[in-house]
Amino acid sequence: MPCRVRTFVWIALCASLALLASGCSTVAFGSVFQDDGSATHSITVMFQRGGLVDEDARRLERQFNAALERAKADGYTAERVNTMTQTGIRVSTNTRESLDTGAVHNGLYNSLAPESSRPIAPFVGGFDSQSTAVGGARFAFEMLVDGETLYHSVQDMAPGHRQLATRGGVDEVVQFIFSATMPGDIREADGEIIGRSTVRWTLPIDGTTTMTAHSGQSKDSPWLLITLTILGSLAFVIALSASVAWVLIHQRSTGRSRIVAPTPGATRQITDSSAADATMTVQEVGTSLARVVDRVIGGQDVETAASDRAAPREMIDGTQPQGD
């Protein structure tokens, strides 16, 4: 980006107005990633309205407007952000891939820094995706933040300011946060999970902070088709089993109709034999159904199951059927 004379709005202005002592500013970095690797990155600087008197508010307004023009000239998208309690500015950019997200945020951070300050590069890392065997995708965000660089960058932007002379003083007046919104659902993260897809970190201004988050996104599985296939198969087996049972019962009924009528003295014997035959028929039908199911599952010929049970039975009076 072309170098321009810049004023780091939230530090230079607060230093001149002695607003830093009120602990009024928040610097929020953020990235919203898509599943194709594209993303929107931003830096948002906000002040609490309660810490501003009328003259300070007017001066801050002029500084914001100037910052908007500089950011737009550098190729960024810049806009004012106003709420009932806060006022600020947001500078953002879009990228087609996010492997080097750290460099993008370093650029955004430097766009608000005065030209005299050294290049600021507290962020290293990025976002990546990986397809899974089942058709879904996994996403990983990993970034290192150098807190010492953040701390010294604040001091460089407002040299000589007493409030910023110590690390504790900077902590009191400036809060750095970073948020990442990822595709799918957050599976694990070392920051604060907000909702199903967003993780937020508060960045310390000492040492090195690791920001890590992993999310997953599964494509719609054909569960409905699988369920319908299973139900259809079960319905087929049940219908086939019912057909075989009907054939067996019909064959037995036909066989009994050909039996010679018993003599009057054999009525008791016929009654007992009929009851036994009925009981045996239910048992054998159950056995036949089980064989049919086994054959269907095993991929064998189902008609054989029915023919196995179609052999003639002995007559209920214990004699073989006689020819005409």
What pLDDT, on the 0 to 100 scale, is given for residue 5? 37
What backbone torsions phi and psi does residue 205 show, to the nearest 5 degrees?
-105, 30
Half-sphere exposure of 110 (CA within 13 A, CB side): 21
Q: Per residue of the chain (324 residues), give pLDDT as tens.
A: 333 334 455 555 444 434 443 446 889 999 999 999 999 999 998 888 776 777 777 887 888 888 888 888 889 999 999 988 888 899 999 999 888 999 999 999 988 776 656 688 999 999 998 876 556 789 999 999 999 999 988 877 666 677 777 888 888 888 999 999 999 999 999 999 998 999 999 999 999 999 999 999 876 445 545 666 777 777 777 877 777 666 666 666 665 555 444 555 544 454 444 444 444 455 665 666 667 666 656 666 555 544 554 444 444 444 454 544
CB atoms within 10 A of CB 35: 13
To the nearest 10 degrees (0 to 180), the angle between helices 267-298 and 223-257 is: 150
**How does strand 208-217 pair with strand 137-146?**
antiparallel
Enumerate the H helices of the chain as residue ranges. Answer: 9-17, 54-73, 101-111, 147-157, 167-173, 223-257, 267-298, 303-308
Answer whether 0.75 is exceeded by the pTM.
no
> What does DSSP assign to residue 8?
-
Long-range contacts of 267-271 (CB under 8 A, 24+ apart): 269/317, 270/316, 270/317
The burial class, CB within 10 Å (0-12 / 13-18 / 19+), for 152 is: middle
